[in-house]
């Protein structure tokens, strides 16, 4: 089992972002010292009521602190982006990380993002599929040709190829069966969000494996997931130490609307503890180690990206969790 850090890059409205880059740098250093092997950051646009740094420029800075770690966006909203730009920026990131980049890609689910950028929401799946094809060609082919519904590339050469031959592994998100099958066909791994329960992770990982086999594709090496995580002080219930900022984050997501179906607002507002218990990894050091082991044994997961901070949670608490995760790493090796 490998553990990584899924970095928190969102802050409440009005929060002073002045010290936050230094805080993120400190977290990367702490994660590396604790034996975590990867860092990823997410992407949203027009994210109010949350302030949010954009992933690629931030990762370029953090890569300098993450020597030897795997680094990447988790995930880029590909239908909203030009795949030629994505391919060349990610190739650059692969060089900045000495061939250790990981590229997470997803459809996106917020209508506000699509309307603000001018991409029809109904086109998100075909744009995504075609965008992946363009990225693979940009990384692989000496002369790139592509004529599709949304993109045309006329016999050009990429500015650079990734350091890793063929390009970084692509991890695809999506929390329903059709998305898992798409990932099995197009990606190097499927990466579920914290919305997917432990039981469902196991079921959908099996679907991913079976779909690969049916398509005659080789088995993949990695089964990553993203989980919210807090390693408690050992005094009282660990979830009580982070309840308010963690609930605030998910309440903010719920406020984005019900149309996507991504965030079950009724369950968040009805019984947050029960909602969290089936999705997040929270407890003492031993309890967190046991929960991580359960993911490995029950779902086949072998790489967990842990997010240890949410809007309003102070830096000291996040750093204490990262320090305690160093001891958890030793328990789950």
Does the pTM exceed 0.75?
yes
Residue percentage of the chain with pLDDT more than 70:
95
* Predicted pLDDT at 50: 86
> pLDDT, tens digit, for every residue of 57-116?
999 999 999 999 999 999 999 999 999 999 999 999 999 999 999 999 999 999 999 999
What is the DSSP pairing of strand 2-7 with strand 38-41? parallel
Listing DSSP states for 196-236 in one string gives S-HHHHHHHHHHHHHHHHHTTPPPPS--EEEEEEEE--SSS
Q: What is the pLDDT of residue 259?
A: 47
Number of domains the chain is built from:
1
Which neighbouring-strand residues pair with 74? none
Give residue-wise pLDDT tens across range 4-56: 999 999 999 999 999 999 999 999 999 999 999 999 999 999 998 889 999 99
Mean pLDDT of 188-200: 95
Residue 218 phi, psi (nearest 5): -70, 155
Q: What is the mean pLDDT of residues 271-281?
A: 86
Q: Work out the widest C-alpha separation in the chain, in whole angstroms.
A: 63
- CATH code at position 155: 3.20.20.30
With cut-offs at 50, 70 and 90, classify the pLDDT of residue 200.
very high
Cα–Cα distance for residue pair 270/273, rounded to 1 Å: 9
pLDDT for res 260:
43
pLDDT class for 236, splitting at 50, 70, 90? confident
CA count, 13 A, side-chain hemisphere, 176: 7
Q: For residue 264, what pLDDT band results from cuts at 50, 70 and 90?
A: low
Q: What percentage of residues in the chain have a pLDDT greater than 90?
A: 86
Give the residue among 37, 76, 71, 301 at the shortest CA–CA distance from 164. 71
Average the pLDDT over 226-232 and give the result: 97
Contacts of 26 (CB under 8 A, 6+ apart): 315, 319
What confidence tens digit (pLDDT) does each residue in 112-160 have?
A: 999 999 999 999 999 999 999 999 999 999 999 999 999 999 999 999 9
Q: Provide the Cα torsion 156, 159, 163, 168; round to 10°.
A: -70
Which alpha helices (DSSP H) does the chain contain, by range?
Answer: 20-33, 55-62, 83-96, 111-117, 124-140, 177-186, 198-214, 238-255, 265-270, 272-277, 285-299, 315-332
Asked if 41 and 24 touch (Cβ cutoff 8 Å), the reply is: no
* Residue 50, domain extent: 2-332
State the Cα–Cα distance between residues 96 and 102, nearest whole angstrom: 12
């Amino acid at each position: 089992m490998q553990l990584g850090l899924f970095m928190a890059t969102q802050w409440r409205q009005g929060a002073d972002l002045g010290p936050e880059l230094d805080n993120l740098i400190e977290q990367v250093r702490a994660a590396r010292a604790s034996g975590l092997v990867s860092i990823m950051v997410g992407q949203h646009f027009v994210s109010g009521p949350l302030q949010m740094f954009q992933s690629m420029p931030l990762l370029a800075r953090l890569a300098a602190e993450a020597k030897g770690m795997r680094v990447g966006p988790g995930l880029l909203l590909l239908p909203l982006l030009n795949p030629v730009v994505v391919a060349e920026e990610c190739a650059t990131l692969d060089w900045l990380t000495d061939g250790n980049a990981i590229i997470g890609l997803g459809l996106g689910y917020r209508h506000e993002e699509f309307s603000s950028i001018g991409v029809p929401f109904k086109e998100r799946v075909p744009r995504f599929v075609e965008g992946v094809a363009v990225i693979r060609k940009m990384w692989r082919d000496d002369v790139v040709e592509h004529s599709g519904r949304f993109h045309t590339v006329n016999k050009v050469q990429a500015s650079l190829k990734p350091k890793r031959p063929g390009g970084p592994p692509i991890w695809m998100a999506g929390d329903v069966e059709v998305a898992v099958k798409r990932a099995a066909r197009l990606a190097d791994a499927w990466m579920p969000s914290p919305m997917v329960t432990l039981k469902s992770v196991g079921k959908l990982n099996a679907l991913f494996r079976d779909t690969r086999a049916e398509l005659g594709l080789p088995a993949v090496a990695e089964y990553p997931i993203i989980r919210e995580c807090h390693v408690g002080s050992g005094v009282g219930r660990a979830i009580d130490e982070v309840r308010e900022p963690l609930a605030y984050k998910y309440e903010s997501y719920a406020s984005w609307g019900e149309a996507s179906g991504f965030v079950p607002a009724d369950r968040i507002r009805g019984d947050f503890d029960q909602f969290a218990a089936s999705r997040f990894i929270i407890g003492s050091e031993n309890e967190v180690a046991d929960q991580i082991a359960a993911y490995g044994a029950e779902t086949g997961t072998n790489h967990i990206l842990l997010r240890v901070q949410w809007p309003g949670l102070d830096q000291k608490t996040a750093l204490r969790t990262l320090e305690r995760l160093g001891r958890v790493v030793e328990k789950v090796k």
